[in-house]
Amino acid sequence: MSELIIEESIVSVDWLQANFKASNLIILDATIRKVAQTQILDLEEHHIPKALFFDLKKEFSDVNAKFPNTCPSERQFTKAAQELSINKNSAIVVYDINGIYSSARAWWLFKTFGHNNVAVLNGGLPEWKRRGFPLEKQHSKTETKGNFIGKYQKEHFLFFEDIKAIQHNPKFTILDARSENRFKGIVKEPRKGLRSGRIPNALNLPFDNVLEKGNLLPKDTLKNIFKNTTQNNEYLVFSCGSGITACVLALGADVLGYKNIAVYDGSWTEYGSLINNEKIMHWTKEELVAYTLIYAANSNFIEDNKERNMIIEHVDMQTFQKIHDEFDADNDYQSLQKISAGLKEHNYTHKDIDELLAEIKLMFFADGEFDVLERMVYRSLKSLLE
């Protein structure tokens, strides 16, 4: 059978079955667990024949990055793709066991690295099984390296500084693929320590809204959804929790023929961790001191009454509880980012910093000892503050 050229970004299971013997066909299983999914996925249960495992979490993400699912380097992507026997002329079909979920991220990565002969399998493994097509128990194994060479297309991804620059620009429409309740902050984010919220001026289009039973909706229906949701069609930017389901919206937009589209790689996990919202930006100086002391008091995971009383000396009980609730919702990285931002906002002088460090040290000695963990945190805070 002659070599395949895939002309659409999504293909049906019937199309895949009909073209199964193409010499350049590569089938990839890009399944990952959904962020809110509690059950363990059995990745060796059923597979489409000839499918190779596309390890989106390890091989095709920058595992050393601060945030999950970060786009890998050109070198890493090229090496990992070659290990899957992917060639420059490969026709790639990506699927996952959830219908269309993480397969869209794999598709977007290939397009980001210059390979356009790639498509998502509409309905994924559930649709393949529903049609009664053959299955295998194990993923296939590769025997030879491919000759694929990735060429990074920088316009495919935006990052934190890009989002800050465009979020008030009327030429850009940011579409958030999270559920409505997450977008509005009605429910907590599933990732521990990540606060709720949304990017300013972003609009909500839950990725489930463009799917039906794991299949992408027909074009006419998709067209109406995008038309009714977007304010502007010039530039569409897609965000979500961590850059996975944003790619489902990118897939829908691509199928409809939108040209100027991009995915915010870090999405809300990055933005919510790095940005200062209205509540945080307007800490009083006393609230900043209280937050910093609460952070220090919890360095050894024990906040005793003496330490608590010292903190309350700076703010009233109601404010203390408000600041403590905020601290409890933050992870260590977020806490340090907030303290640093607060120092800049209030233009702390060297004298102010010396006084704050003296307060921290005094609190550490409140229980009569200055233990190892407290010393480590003190050095860390001193380095941050100075």
- What CATH number is given to the structural domain containing 175? 3.40.250.10
Looking at the fold, whether 263 and 296 belong to one and the same domain comes out as no
Euclidean distance between CA atoms 135 and 191, whole angstroms: 34
* 33 pLDDT above the threshold of 80: no
Q: Which residues of 11-24 are buried (b: 16+ CB within 10 A; e: fewer)?
A: bbbebbeebbebeb
* 323 pLDDT above the threshold of 90: no
**Inside any domain, residue 50:** yes
* 246 pLDDT above the threshold of 80: yes
Looking at the fold, whether 16 and 119 belong to one and the same domain comes out as yes
Give the pLDDT confidence score for residue 262 in this predicted structure.
98
**Inside any domain, residue 148:** no
Higher confidence at residue 315 or residue 215? 215
Separation of CA 177 from chain center: 11
Give the pLDDT confidence score for residue 386 in this predicted structure.
67
Give the pLDDT confidence score for residue 349 in this predicted structure.
82
Final residue in a domain of this structure, among 234, 253, 274:
274
Q: What are phi and psi of 289, to 5 degrees?
A: -60, -45
Alpha helices in the chain (DSSP H): 13-18, 74-83, 103-112, 124-130, 160-166, 180-183, 219-229, 246-255, 267-274, 278-281, 285-297, 305-312, 317-329, 332-345, 350-364, 372-385
Banded pLDDT at 6 (limits 50, 70, 90): very high
Looking at the fold, whether 105 and 171 belong to one and the same domain comes out as no
Instruction: Tell me the pTM.
Output: 0.72
Residue pair 11/122 in contact (Cβ under 8 Å)? The answer is yes
Final residue in a domain of this structure, among 274, 292, 311:
274
Model pLDDT for residues 109-147, shown as the tens digit of each residue: 999 999 999 999 999 999 999 999 999 988 999 989 999
**Inside any domain, residue 116:** yes
Cross-strand partners of 29: 53, 95
118-121 β-sheet, strand order: 10-11, 118-121, 91-95, 25-29, 52-53
Looking at the fold, whether 192 and 88 belong to one and the same domain comes out as no
Compute the average pLDDT of residues 175-183.
95
Model pLDDT for residues 335-375, shown as the tens digit of each residue: 888 888 788 777 788 888 888 888 877 877 766 677 777 77
Higher confidence at residue 150 or residue 297? 150
Higher confidence at residue 241 or residue 288? 241
Final residue in a domain of this structure, among 253, 274, 295:
274
Looking at the fold, whether 186 and 248 belong to one and the same domain comes out as yes
Euclidean distance between CA atoms 35 and 245, whole angstroms: 11
Out of 35-44, 238-247, 283-292, 333-342, pick the least confident: 35-44
Strands 211-212 and 215-216: antiparallel
* 18 pLDDT above the threshold of 60: yes
Give the pLDDT confidence score for residue 322 in this predicted structure.
78
Looking at the fold, whether 269 and 285 belong to one and the same domain comes out as no
* 189 pLDDT above the threshold of 70: yes
Higher confidence at residue 248 or residue 337? 248
Looking at the fold, whether 172 and 258 belong to one and the same domain comes out as yes
Q: What angle do CA 257, 121, 189 make, to 5 degrees?
A: 80
On average, the pLDDT of the chain sits at 88
Looking at the fold, whether 137 and 15 belong to one and the same domain comes out as yes
Domain boundaries, position 191: 156-274
Give the pLDDT confidence score for residue 126 in this predicted structure.
95
* 88 pLDDT above the threshold of 60: yes
DSSP annotation of 136: B
Whether residue 240 lies in the annotated active site: yes
**Inside any domain, residue 127:** yes
Share of the chain above pLDDT 90, in %: 57
Compute the average pLDDT of residues 45-56.
92
* 34 pLDDT above the threshold of 90: no
Give the pLDDT confidence score for residue 37 in this predicted structure.
47
Higher confidence at residue 89 or residue 283? 89
Q: Catalytic: which of 80, 104, 240, 248?
A: 240
Looking at the fold, whether 286 and 228 belong to one and the same domain comes out as no
Looking at the fold, whether 133 and 119 belong to one and the same domain comes out as yes
Q: How many domains does the structure of the chain reveal? A: 3
Euclidean distance between CA atoms 173 and 160, whole angstroms: 16
* 24 pLDDT above the threshold of 50: yes
Banded pLDDT at 301 (limits 50, 70, 90): low
Looking at the fold, whether 196 and 238 belong to one and the same domain comes out as yes
**Inside any domain, residue 149:** no
Compute the average pLDDT of residues 159-171.
91
* 40 pLDDT above the threshold of 90: no
Separation of CA 251 from chain center: 17
**Inside any domain, residue 1:** no
Query: Which among 181-195, 252-266, 282-296, 357-371 has the top mean pLDDT?
Result: 252-266
* 36 pLDDT above the threshold of 70: no
User: How many of the other CB atoms lie within 10 Å of CB of 200?
Assistant: 14
Give the pLDDT confidence score for residue 281 in this predicted structure.
43
